[in-house]
Amino acid sequence: MSNIKSYHERIENFDWKIAEKELDYEPGNVINIGWYCSDRICQMGKADKPGLIWEGSTGVEKRYTYNDIRINSNTIAQFLKDLGINPEDRVCLFLDKIPELYIGFLGILKMGAIAQPLFSAFGDESLFIRLDNAQTTAIITQKKHAPKVRKIMDKMPYLKHLIIVDADPGKPLADREVAFDLAKAGKVDHFDIYPTTAESPSVLHYTSGTTGQPKGVKHVHYSLISQYLTAKWVLDLQDDDIYWCTADPGWVTGTSYGIIGAFSNGVTQCVLDAGFSADNWYRFIQKHRITMWYSAPTAIRSLMKAGEEVIKKYDLSSLRHLASVGEPLNSEAVIWSERVFGKPFLDTYWQTETGSIMISNYPGMKIKPGSMGKPFPGITATVIHPETYEPFNETGKIGLIAIRPGWPAMMRTYWKNEETYRKKFQNGWYLPGDRSSIDNEGYFWFVGRDDDVINTGGHLVSPFEVESALLEHLAVAESAVVAKPDFVNMEVVKAFVTLKPGFIASKDLDLDIMNFVRKKLSPLAMPQEIEFIDTLPKTRSGKIMRRILHAKEWGEEIGDTSTLEND
């Protein structure tokens, strides 16, 4: 039985108070996400219910009931408090998808600090940029990632604690380092949560922009209202579901729906901390009898590439509902999943700044393969003219997606960057930076980004950040970075590079530059192709014209080149 009645019924008389009532929250009262995702579930009589089933790459499995999650998050909260960490201090989670990441996130929120999850594949430079902007007080990490932090410790006097969750017993730790073993720590049954209210800051997620450094997106505890209800209605989470969100909590999907949405609804969720392979994933679904699967188009296209024979080896009949996030879901993937799994992946559209699902397909709603669907109840969304910022009067016109501000999970600012935050709002609309059209039935159809940000496998990569890293290589004189089409990842990073005198283009140099960027930033930001050229296309004022390089890669019209310096 689905949670959603019908889309039209839900829209009529919608009010976010529906979620407040179901969560027993009264405006003005304390609202702490950590408590709602653990203690409250226990008080509802689900203390012994499995909350988290974790499996590592070697097949090791760990299980946590909601009472285990409650006690362990209390234990982490108390440990942080005893270290002298204060409410609203930033505590970074720099971990693989291990239990300490999921439980630690709740513990940080319980003691009033701000959780700052960062993707564990980040290199030291990507890490430093984000830690420095946030002036992070503590990092929780593993010994395998600690060297990246140690490399930049001298530049971070504000960083008081490097907490290592799997430090070698008896091995001396350096200054500012501290060991914490969740399994051996003295358990804290009762912890007085910090009395956060609706506008208290909760999470700081970093996202990439076209220019400048990554921006810290600040969310608040009231975001729970959106995340709880969208998880219930869009992901259709039900009490007996076994849920799998494949996203890493280093990204917003992994926190909004891999932690908050799942735990606040009291479902059992599974986490696989292992590399991708079709066999691995299908075996995981079969083993745990997954019912609700929330994944990404990149993964779906990789499964398509693996073929249909592998599917026949597994019993996937437990699957009840499938949804997708992170980038546009092409119609072929929807049709394919309907054929091989007996049900389509439903596309959901939102972003780090929105905090929760904005436009989506819903259980029971007519699915148009390739469409983003319709706005979530309570969300007013349209398409506006890119210059006048006025909504179009006719359907089918391509314009900027625009959302009326005011939903609970909306970001409250960019950290230390209020000016850029305000630019996201025009004429009373929040602008996500994407282009779309709307058909005559109100369905949105994604067209593309309105800037140069590269969406590779659902992760946004800033051309500016990659270009900056490239320029630090001793052979690189100038660089320009654009998206290149890719079947699996939709887009990958391609770099155009001019070399300094004395350097000659070669395969070895190509690989050396790629690995240089990989180590500094992350595997996601590493160019998948480098093209060495004599000169980059520039305007007469010296600005590199990325759009010309982009157009060539995508086989598009180059357009007006009258401002080119060589014209």
Q: What percent of the chain has pLDDT over 70?
A: 96
Give pLDDT, residue 3. 66
- CA distances 439 to 235, 330, 448, 535, Å, are 24, 17, 16, 43
Q: What percent of the chain has pLDDT over 90?
A: 75
Query: What is the SS3 assignment for 200?
Result: coil
Is there a common fold for 7-436 and 454-554? no
Name the pLDDT band for 558 (thresholds 50, 70, 90): low
Give pLDDT, residue 197. 98
Does the pLDDT at position 119 exceed 80? yes
Query: Which whole number is the average pLDDT over 391-417?
Result: 95
Give pLDDT, residue 560. 46
* CB proximity list for 128: less than 8 A, separation 6 or greater: 152, 155, 156
Does the pLDDT at position 562 exceed 50? no
Cβ distance 450 to 434 under 8 Å?
Answer: yes
- CA distances 452 to 297, 455, 482, 538, 548, Å, are 20, 9, 7, 16, 12
List the 242-245 sheet strands across, edge first: 61-65, 50-56, 268-273, 242-245, 292-295, 321-324, 345-349, 359-360, 374-375
Give pLDDT, residue 217. 98
Give pLDDT, residue 170. 82
Query: Which whole number is the average pLDDT over 138-155?
Result: 97
Query: Which whole number is the average pLDDT over 335-343?
Result: 95
pTM: 0.87
Find, among 134, 138, 152, 122, the residue nearest to 180 by Cα: 138
Residue-averaged pLDDT of the chain: 92
Pick the CATH number of 7-436 from 3.30.70.890, 3.30.420.40, 3.20.20.10, 3.40.50.12780: 3.40.50.12780
Give pLDDT, residue 539. 63
Does the pLDDT at position 420 exceed 70? yes
* CB proximity list for 357: less than 8 A, separation 6 or greater: 230, 234, 325, 348, 349, 350, 376
Query: Which whole number is the average pLDDT over 381-394?
Result: 93
- CATH architecture of structural domain 454-554: 2-Layer Sandwich (3.30)
Convert the pLDDT of each residue in 159-214 to its tens digit: 999 999 999 988 889 899 999 999 999 999 999 999 999 999 999 999 976 556 88
How do the domains of the chain map onto residue ranges?
7-436, 454-554
Rounded to whole angstroms, how far apart are CA atoms 461 and 131?
A: 18
Give pLDDT, residue 490. 84
Query: Which whole number is the average pLDDT over 396-416?
Result: 96
